[in-house]
Chain A
Amino acid sequence: MRKLDGRLAILSMLVVVLMVTGGLVSGGTYLSLFNLQSMATQVPEIGLLAIGVMLAMCAGNGGIDLSGIALANLAGVASGLVMTQFIPVYDAPWLFTLCFTLGAVVVGILGGLLNGLIISRLGITPILCTLGTQMLFTGLAVVFSDGRSVTIGSPDPMYELGNGVIMGVPYSFLIFLAVALVLGAVLRFTPFGMRLMLTGANARAADYSGFAKRRIFTVTYTLSGALAGLAGVIIAARNVNVKWDYGTSYLLIAILVAVMAGVRPEGGSGRIVCVVLSAIVLQLLSSLLNFIGLSNFVRDFAWGALLLAFLAVGRFQLIERLAAGIASGITSARVPRASKG
């Protein structure tokens, strides 16, 4: 059996603690179905981007994807402009929704592929490459839309995608969970997932083992781009409009979610389930701060402080030490004299 994952336990505990606190502070409204649903519809955008950041970090090589939200906006803007041009939004709602989704994901994949090829073929550091493409993607979105917001409209399927629920659970949240599940399985059970993690853990060993490192990097960043494209679809579905400067703070929050989930920025370790939980924790906290009536600026401050705090937790291995402390406490309680041996 796998040993207990301390990070997973802590994050689950945080979810419970935050829910209870929220319930107590708000006198129950925080836990109302409406509020839970509204929180759940806000998780997917950031969650998808965070998984993208996580994949890039896991691949090692100083991996990071800073272009996520820029690419998501570009995907929404580009696909929106093309599709609204050719397909009557309200006369063919299903066709439009399908084509828009497809278009945005394709833009995402192309953008991610560009990142992947630049990093793996040209050997440019991921930070520099994705800084450049972040600017490029944002710039293209500005050029295409002339700096204005693009109205997608909300035909039924789009509206449902952004706001609808099935058996009380929002569609967008289910899509997010499904994507996370598939990627989690890919990382855990496929050769690609294994190689991705091993390359991140020790690039030189991966080299000697004959891994196709270039292909791994290309696929990883392409996946991250596809996730950004999907995030773009959900952003469009939730907001009716898309604009090039949507979600300027998402870059930080996506990285914060990944770091909180225990993804090591140096690569080689990270679990999707933790990223999902960590995105949920952040959303719960954000809504809680809202309920208390604190301004967005306090929230920004809190995110910065939280990111640094979790970096410190990772650096000094506080969770591992805590877990070890508890474990040794249990053993010594069971076998009181064992420590003298």
Chain B
Amino acid sequence: MTMTQSTFDNRNAAPPAGRHHPRAGLADTFTRHPELVSLCLLVAICVAVALINPAFLSPTSLIDMGRASVVTGLFALGVFSILAAGGIDVSFTAIAAFAMYSLTLFVLKVAPDLPMAAILLIAVAGGTALGAVNGWLVHELRVAALIVTIGTQYLFRGILLAFIGTVWLMELPPQMVAFGKASMLDVTTANGATVTLPWYFLVFPAAALLTWAIFNRTLMGRAIFATGGNPEVAARLGYDQRTVHLFVFAFAGGLAGLAGIVHVCANRMANPFDLVGTEIGVIAAVVLGGARITGGTGSVLGTVTGVLLITVVNNVLVLVGIPSTWQRVVVGAFILLAAAFFVTRRGKLQSRNRKPSP
């Protein structure tokens, strides 16, 4: 494997995922579909936790986790798209914070009667615009996307906190409160309390479907994977790099804007200091889902699995008796172990595939 790779300039030696070698065994299937590993891990953890503490399977805890996965999930789908194109983004939380706070303030102060659909649309549009700025900068500056987006994270957050506001908004507009509360499913628990699975939960599966469709049913999806796999070849094949960069960052920005508004409605308050700082957990989810940080691979199913895995890990530690202070250690260890596992497996596969070739 060549070692000359920066974020947007790498050469993939790995065979394209999904094409099966005639002698592919179970281990190879896992290597080619890393999301299956995460899926098995997820199931194993769930079974183990359920055995140790059956409270894990109670509707309360399941619905809690479902709700908690929405914002991370939206972020993760965006990060997945960018990773697939060979980039990385750490500014999406700043975009979300920017969109949610300034939009909530706008609705409160200027347009209290704005319908919820319009609010969601504006959030997506605003996020898309900020994301496009990222994409444009990454393309024009030709520097590792990590460094560019660290810069824009501070830029967006700085603008928000310095010029828009730092005060928590505790009273949301009524339509946003209603959106956060609207119930899809009410479950009454044994002790008589009612747990609600809200409608906004559906935003995550809907966004996942949309992302899946883009990657599997459109030319843009092909272009993104090609660019992430090998930008030079992709350019020679006629995929416009500028369009790809603009698209993935704008798409991730749009999802981040949506995530921001969902976050506000779910928490019933807008805190401008929120969200920023949760990037690593999201990136971890995508990587655990089998996407390579050097681009060209990954799947929506894997990303969703990764999100569920991270959400479960974040929520079950206390249930099984591990103090919550250990959460970061566990997630950090997961990132490293997953990365090590995928790299070693891929290495073995390559060295074996290389031998029979003439």
State the A residues within 8 Å of B (CB).
60-62, 64, 118, 122-125, 127-129, 131-140, 142-143, 146-147, 202-204, 207, 213, 248-249, 251-252, 255-256, 259, 265-267, 295, 297-305, 307-308, 311-312, 314-315
- Given A124-B339, A131-B283, A204-B2, is A308 in contact with B148 using a C-beta cutoff of 8 Å? yes
B270 near A: Cβ within 8 Å? no
The answer on a CB contact under 8 Å between A307 and B147 is: yes
A150 to B: closest C-beta gap in Å: 14
| B230 interfacial contact with A, CB 8 Å | no
Q: Quick one: which of B173-220 are within 8 Å of A by CB?
A: none
CA distance A311 to B152 in the complex (A): 12
| A–B complex contacts, Cβ < 8 Å, 14 sampled | A123-B347, A124-B343, A135-B328, A136-B328, A139-B326, A140-B329, A143-B325, A256-B151, A265-B147, A298-B162, A301-B162, A311-B147, A315-B140, A315-B141
**Residue numbers in A under 8 Å from B147 (CB-CB):** 64, 255, 259, 265, 307, 311
Q: Is B168 an interface residue (CB 8 A)?
A: no
Interface residues of B in 263-294 (CB under 8 A from A): 277, 280, 283-284, 287, 293-294
Q: Quick check: A122 and B343 within 8 Å, CB to CB?
A: yes
| Known contacts A133-B336, A265-B6, A307-B151, then 4 further A-B pairs from the complex at CB < 8 Å, ordered by chain A residue | A122-B339, A255-B147, A304-B151, A311-B151
Taking a contact as CB atoms under 8 Å apart, the answer to whether A125 and B293 are in contact is yes
How many Å from the CB of A36 to the closest CB on chain B?
A: 27
The distance in angstroms between the C-alpha atoms of A61 and B10, with both chains bound, is: 10
> Are A132 and B158 in touch, CB under 8 angstroms?
no
- Residue contact B162 to A118, C-beta cutoff 8 Å: no
Give the complex CA separation of A295 and B150 in angstroms: 20
**In the complex, what residues of A have CB within 8 A of residue B284's CB?**
131-132, 135
Q: Using Cβ atoms and an 8 Å threshold, which residues of chain B touch A139?
A: 325-332
| A147 / chain B contacts, CB cutoff of 8 Å | 325
Give chain B residues whose Cβ lies under 8 Å from the Cβ of A131: 280, 283-284, 335
A311 contact from B9, B143, B158, B277, Cβ within 8 A? B143
**Is A61 in contact with B5, judged by CB distance below 8 angstroms?**
yes
List chain A residues, Cβ under 8 A from B38: none
**Shortest beta-carbon distance, B286 to chain A, in Å?**
11
Inter-subunit contact B340/A124 (CB<8 Å): yes
**Is A307 within 8 A of B333, CB to CB?**
no
Are A307 and B144 interface neighbours, CB within 8 A?
no
Minimum Cβ distance to chain B for residue A58 (Å) = 13
Q: Is B69 an interface residue (CB 8 A)?
A: no
Whether the Cβ atoms of A300 and B161 lie closer than 8 Å is yes
- With A122-B343, A303-B154, A311-B151 as contacts: A136 and B6 at CB distance below 8 Å: no
**In whole angstroms, how far apart are the Cα atoms of A143 and B330 in the complex?**
11
Q: Which residues of A contact B343 (CB under 8 A)?
A: 122-124
CA A312 to CA B148, docked complex, whole Å: 10
- How far, in whole Å, are A144 and B317 apart by their CA atoms in the complex? 17
Among A122, A143, A248, contact of B277 (Cβ-Cβ < 8 Å): A248
The docked-state distance in angstroms from the alpha carbon of A204 to that of B4 is: 7
Q: Say whether A134 contacts B280, CB under 8 Å.
A: yes
| Given A248-B277, A304-B158, A122-B140 contact (CB < 8 Å) | no
**Cβ contacts under 8 Å, B156 to chain A:** 304
| B312-333 interface (Cβ within 8 A of A) | 323, 325-333
B5 touching A129, Cβ below 8 Å: no
For residue A300, which residues in chain B have a CB less than 8 angstroms away from its CB?
Answer: 154, 157-158, 161-162
Interface centre among A61, A140, A302, A304 (most CB of B within 10 A): A304
* Contact (Cβ within 8 A) A265 B143: yes
Contacts of A259 in B (CB 8 A): 147
Instruction: Give every chain A residue within 8 A of B277 (Cβ-Cβ).
Output: 248
Query: Chain B contacts of A249 at CB under 8 A?
Result: 154
Contact B339 A129, beta carbon cutoff 8 Å: yes
- Interfacial chain A residues near B3, Cβ < 8 Å: 60-61, 203-204, 207, 213
From B159, B329, B347, residue with most partner A Cβ within 10 Å: B329
Distance to closest chain A CB from B101 (angstroms)? 13
> A62 and B6: CB pair below 8 A?
yes
- Counting chain A CB atoms within 10 Å of each CB, the highest count among B144, B326, B347 belongs to B144
State in angstroms the CA–CA spacing of A124 and B1 once bound together. Answer: 12
Which of A203, A207, A302, A312 is B141 in contact with, Cβ under 8 Å? A312
Q: Are A136 and B2 in contact (CB under 8 A)?
A: no
Which of A125, A132, A299 gathers most chain B CB within 10 Å?
Answer: A132
Min Cβ gap A214→B in Å is 10
Task: Tell me whether A265 and B155 are in contact (CB under 8 A).
Answer: no
CB distance from A233 to the nearest CB of B (A): 23
Q: How far is the CB of A22 from chain B (nearest CB, A)?
A: 21
C-alpha spacing A140/B330, complex, angstroms: 10
Query: Looking at A62, A122, A207, which has the most chain B CB atoms within 10 Å of its CB?
Result: A62
- When the two chains form their complex, are residues A128 and B287 in contact, meaning their CB atoms are under 8 A apart? yes
Q: Which residues of B contact A298 (CB under 8 A)?
A: 158, 162
Is B7 part of the binding interface, using a Cβ–Cβ cutoff of 8 Å? yes
Closest residue of chain A to B7 (Cβ to Cβ) is: A62
A125 CB contacts on chain B under 8 angstroms: 5, 293-294, 339
For A305, the chain B residues whose CB sits under 8 A away are 151, 155, 158
Q: Mark B108-137, 1 if CB is under 8 A from A, else 0.
A: 000000000000000000000000000001
Asked if B146 is an interface residue, CB under 8 A from chain A, the answer is: yes
Closest chain A CB from B145 CB (angstroms): 10
Q: Chain A residues near B327: list those with CB within 8 A.
A: 139
B58 within 8 A of A: no
A301 engages B155 (CB within 8 Å): yes
With an 8 A cutoff between CB atoms, is B53 at the interface? no
Q: For B242, what are the chain A residues with a Cβ–Cβ distance below 8 Å?
A: none
- Give the one of B158, B340, B343 with max A CB within 10 A: B158
Task: Give Cα distance in the complex from A190 to B283, angstroms.
Answer: 38
Contact status of A304 and B152, CB under 8 A, knowing A61-B5, A295-B162 = yes
What's the least CB distance linking B281 to chain A, in Å? 8
Decide: B158 and A142 in contact? CB cutoff 8 A.
no
**In the complex, chain A residues whose CB is within 8 Å of the CB of B140:** 315
A132 touches B162 (CB 8 A): no
Cβ contact of B7, chosen from A127, A134, A308, cutoff 8 A: A127
